[in-house]
Chain A
Amino acid sequence: MIRIFVGAFLAAVFVGGLGIIALAAGGSRSLNSYLILASLLFAIGMFGFLARRNAISMLMSIELMLNAVNLSIVAFGGFVKGLGASGSVIALMVMAVAAAEATVGLAIIIAIYRNKKTPLVDEYDAMSQ
Chain B
Amino acid sequence: MFDLLIVLIVALPLVGFAVTALIGRRLDKQAHWIPVGLIVIVWAISMVVAFATLTHAEPFGEAGHGVNLFTWIPAGDFQVHAAFYVDALTACLLIVVTTIGMLVHIYSIGYMSHDPGYWRFFAYLNLFMFSMLLLVMADSFLVLFVAWELVGLSSYLLIGFWKHKRTAALAAKKAFIVNRVGDVGFALGIMLIFASLHTLDIHGADGVLARIGTLDHGTILAISLLIFAGAMGKSAQFPLHVWLPDAMEGPTPVSALIHAATMVNAGVYLVARTSPIFAGAQEALVVVAAIGIFTAILAASIAMTQTDIKRVLAYSTLSQLGYMFAALGVGAFTAAIFHLMAHGFFKGLLFLGSGSVIHSVHEEQDMRRMGGLARKIPITYATMLVGSLAIAGIPPLAGFFSKDEILGEAFKLGFPWVWAIGVIVALMTAFYMFRLMGLTFWGESRVDPHVEPNIHESPPVMTWPLILLAIPSALVGLVLGLPFGAGLLASWLEPIFTPSTAALHHTEARFQLFGIDGALIVVSVAVAAIGIAIAWRLFGAEIGRIRFRPRPETVTAISSRAPFLYRASLNKWWFDELNHLLFIVIGGRIAAFLWWFDRRVIDDTVNDLAKATVGAGRGLRRVQTGRVQNYALGIAVGLLVMAGSFLILAGRA
Contact = CB atoms under 8 A, between A and B. Distances in A.
A50 B636 contact: yes
A121 B629 contact: yes
A128 B626 contact: yes
Interface in A47-81: 49-50, 53, 58
A125 B626 contact: yes
A49 B625 contact: no
B627 A124 contact: yes
Interface of A is mostly: helix
A128 B629 contact: no
Nearest to B621: A128
Instruction: Count chain A CB atoms within 10 A of each CB in B625, B626, B629, B633 and give the residue with the most.
Output: B629
Contact of A127 (B626, B629, B632, B636): B626
Interface string B429-458: 000000000000000000000000000000
Contacts of B628: 121, 124
Nearest to A46: B636
A103 to B, nearest CB: 19
A129 B636 CA distance: 25
Contacts of A49: 629, 632
A128 B633 contact: no
B647 to A, nearest CB: 12
A111 B627 CA distance: 17
Interface in B331-381: none
B624 interface: yes
Nearest to A49: B632
Contacts of B629: 49-50, 53, 58, 121-122
Contacts of B633: 50
Give chain B's interface residue range (CB within 8 Å of chain A): under 10
A122 B627 contact: yes
Contacts of A1: none
A127 B628 CA distance: 10
Give chain A's interface residue range (CB within 8 Å of chain B): 10 to 19
A129 B626 CA distance: 8
Interface of B is mostly: helix
Interface string B619-640: 0000011111100110010000
B621 to A, nearest CB: 9
A49 to B, nearest CB: 6
A126 interface: yes
Interface in B539-580: none
A124 B629 CA distance: 10
B441 to A, nearest CB: 94
A87 B651 CA distance: 26
Contacts of B636: 46, 50
A128 B632 contact: no
A125 B636 CA distance: 20
A127 B625 CA distance: 8
A52 to B, nearest CB: 9
Contacts of A53: 629
A128 B627 CA distance: 8
B626 A50 contact: no
Interface in A85-129: 121-122, 124-129
Contacts of A46: 636
Nearest to A53: B629
Nearest to B622: A128
A125 B632 contact: no
Instruction: Count chain B CB atoms within 10 A of each CB in A53, A58, A128, A129 and give the residue with the most.
Output: A128
Interface string B62-80: 0000000000000000000
A116 to B, nearest CB: 13
A50 B627 CA distance: 11
Given A46-B636, A49-B632, A50-B636, A121 B626 contact: no
B620 to A, nearest CB: 14
Contacts of B626: 125-129
A77 to B, nearest CB: 21
Nearest to A128: B626
A49 B625 CA distance: 17
Contacts of B632: 49-50
Contacts of A125: 625-627
B622 to A, nearest CB: 10
A27 B199 CA distance: 91
Nearest to A61: B632
Contacts of A127: 626
A124 B625 CA distance: 11
A35 to B, nearest CB: 13
Contacts of A129: 626
B106 to A, nearest CB: 82
A46 B636 CA distance: 8
A74 to B, nearest CB: 21
A122 B629 CA distance: 8
Contacts of A121: 627-629
Contact of B624 (A50, A124, A126, A128): A128
A121 B632 CA distance: 12
Contacts of A126: 626
A50 B634 CA distance: 10
Nearest to B631: A127
A49 B635 CA distance: 11
Interface string B592-629: 00000000000000000000000000000000111111
A41 B627 CA distance: 25
A46 B628 CA distance: 14
Interface string A36-47: 000000000010
A125 B630 CA distance: 11
B232 to A, nearest CB: 70
A53 B630 CA distance: 12
Nearest to A127: B626
Contacts of A50: 629, 632-633, 636
Top 8 A-B pairs ranked by shortest CB distance? A128-B626, A127-B626, A125-B626, A121-B628, A128-B625, A50-B633, A122-B627, A46-B636
8 contacts: A46-B636, A49-B632, A58-B629, A121-B628, A121-B629, A128-B626, A128-B627, A129-B626
Given A121-B627, A127-B626, 18 more contacts: A49-B629, A50-B632, A50-B633, A50-B636, A53-B629, A58-B629, A121-B628, A121-B629, A122-B627, A122-B629, A124-B627, A125-B625, A125-B626, A126-B626, A128-B624, A128-B625, A128-B627, A129-B626
